[in-house]
């Protein structure tokens, strides 16, 4: 018996049936695509168009088209450049800080002795507490801790003899950034720790058993097995944390409002200031578009480094 090739054995599908199936799929996706366009695409296009005008809410008429003038003015705006530098510093310190803190916490939560003592669930709940606290409540609590008159931190530092006089941590240029960074790292590291814990639990136990048979030490196992296998998770966490932090408005707005002076002004708060204090909507839109451009450049560089095989 002669066997026909598989392609001949299968019934042929008419192009009309394929066309109907494709149209049906697009029809089913149309509502979602329409909502996505209205929610994401339209505002993005509107901000881009607005950035090319001199629109000001105080003006009696609509803004005129000015081309790229808003973007060229950014590079002569000292406050914008300062905000850009502050944003990079804020992003780098808090992203690295939460990764450095979350990794040992994830290793602790993944420890076998913790599971044997049936404390794993309890410890995970304790670790997640900072993340589940509403951000407004968390910032109010930290403002009280940092308060220069009635703050708990000043009280104990003076009791220990480390301070001779109280310091308003959120109002002093030398201490404001470390104080803000501590709040952000404390609030955000639990989510990173849980993601790293999921990555640790996905590593096959056979790999660790083989390393123990070979006589590898705990440090060698961590450096040569755990870290390389965690690299995809770390890559995603670093990229997403960078995007979230670079665009973050809430922490700075609630803790310092950009102060003292413009010491903690970041691009997100600068956009708010230009849009709703000076009412320069066109210029604020240009600042917002510049943030997107910077993130696209950073993301492209980051993905290229990761795809090249180098550590993220």
Q: What is the mean pLDDT of residues 2-24?
A: 58
> How far is residue 58's CA from residue 278's CA, in Å, rounded to a whole number?
9
Collapsing DSSP to helix, strand or coil, 259 comes out as: coil
Of 4-13, 17-26, 87-96, 205-214, least confident by mean pLDDT is 4-13
Mean pLDDT of all residues belonging to the chain: 86
**168's tokens:** 């308003």
Of 197-211, 218-232, 267-281, 296-310, least confident by mean pLDDT is 296-310
If you ran DSSP here, which 8-state letter would residue 1 be given? -
- Tell me the per-residue pLDDT of 64-94, one tens digit each, with 9 for 90 and over: 888 899 999 999 999 999 999 999 999 999 9
* pLDDT of res. 179: 94
Domain CATH code at residue 205? 1.10.3720.10
Domain span at residue 210?
Answer: 88-264
Q: What is the mean pLDDT of residues 145-169?
A: 87
* pLDDT of res. 12: 52
Q: Which residue has the higher pLDDT, 48 or 14?
A: 48
* pLDDT of res. 14: 47
Q: What is the band of 310 on the pLDDT scale with cuts at 50, 70, 90?
A: low
**298's tokens:** 């950073």
Considering the domain boundaries, does residue 246 fall inside one? Answer: yes
* pLDDT of res. 62: 65
- Tell me the per-residue pLDDT of 162-204, one tens digit each, with 9 for 90 and over: 888 888 889 888 999 999 999 999 999 999 999 999 999 888 8
Considering the domain boundaries, does residue 207 fall inside one? Answer: yes
Considering the domain boundaries, does residue 225 fall inside one? Answer: yes
Considering the domain boundaries, does residue 70 fall inside one? Answer: no
Measuring CA to CA, how many Å separate 276 from each of 50, 57, 60, 69, 254?
15, 9, 16, 20, 16
Contact 232, 309 (CB under 8 A): no
> How far is residue 127's CA from residue 267's CA, in Å, rounded to a whole number?
31
* pLDDT of res. 67: 86
**Residue 171: which residues within 8 A CB-CB, separation 6 or more?**
148, 259, 260
Overall domain count for the chain:
1
Measuring CA to CA, how many Å separate 3 from each of 6, 9, 13, 48?
9, 9, 21, 62
Is a pLDDT exceeding 60 seen at residue 219? yes
Considering the domain boundaries, does residue 107 fall inside one? Answer: yes
Considering the domain boundaries, does residue 293 fall inside one? Answer: no
Residue 251 CB coordination number (10 Å): 25
Q: Which residue has the higher pLDDT, 30 or 12?
A: 30
Considering the domain boundaries, does residue 250 fall inside one? Answer: yes
Report the number of secondary-structure helices (H) and strands (E) in the chain. Answer: 16, 0
* pLDDT of res. 33: 82
Is a pLDDT exceeding 50 seen at residue 312? no
Considering the domain boundaries, does residue 75 fall inside one? Answer: no
* pLDDT of res. 5: 52
Q: What is the band of 7 on the pLDDT scale with cuts at 50, 70, 90?
A: very low
Alpha-helical regions (H) of 110-172: 112-116, 120-132, 135-146, 152-159
């Amino acid at each position: 018996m002669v066997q026909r090739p598989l392609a001949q054995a299968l019934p042929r599908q008419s192009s009309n049936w394929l066309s109907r199936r494709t149209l049906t799929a697009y029809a089913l996706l149309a509502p979602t695509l329409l909502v996505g366009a209205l929610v994401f695409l339209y505002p993005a296009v509107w901000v881009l168009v607005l950035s090319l005008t001199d629109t000001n809410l105080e003006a009696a008429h609509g803004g005129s088209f000015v081309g790229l003038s808003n973007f060229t003015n950014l590079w002569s705006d000292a406050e914008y450049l300062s905000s850009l530098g502050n944003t990079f510093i804020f992003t780098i310190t808090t992203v690295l800080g939460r990764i450095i803190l979350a990794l040992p916490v994830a290793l602790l939560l993944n420890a076998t002795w913790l599971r044997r003592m049936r404390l794993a669930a309890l410890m995970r709940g304790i670790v997640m507490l900072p993340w589940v606290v509403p951000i407004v409540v968390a910032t109010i609590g930290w403002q009280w801790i940092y308060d220069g008159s009635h703050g708990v931190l000043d009280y104990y530092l003076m009791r220990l003899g480390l301070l001779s006089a109280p310091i308003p941590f959120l109002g002093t240029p030398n201490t404001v950034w470390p104080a803000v960074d501590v709040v952000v790292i404390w609030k955000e590291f639990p989510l990173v720790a849980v993601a790293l814990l999921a990555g640790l639990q996905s590593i096959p136990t056979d790999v660790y058993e083989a390393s123990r048979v070979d006589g590898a030490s705990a440090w060698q196992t961590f450096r040569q097995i755990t870290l390389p296998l965690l690299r995809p998770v770390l890559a995603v966490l670093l990229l997403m944390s960078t995007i979230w932090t670079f665009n973050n408005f809430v922490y700075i707005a609630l803790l310092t409002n950009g102060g003292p002076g413009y010491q903690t002004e970041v691009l997100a708060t600068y956009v708010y200031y230009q849009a709703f204090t000076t009412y320069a909507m066109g210029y604020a839109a240009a600042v917002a578009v510049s943030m997107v451009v910077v993130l696209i450049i950073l993301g492209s560089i980051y993905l290229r480094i990761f795809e090249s095989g180098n550590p993220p």
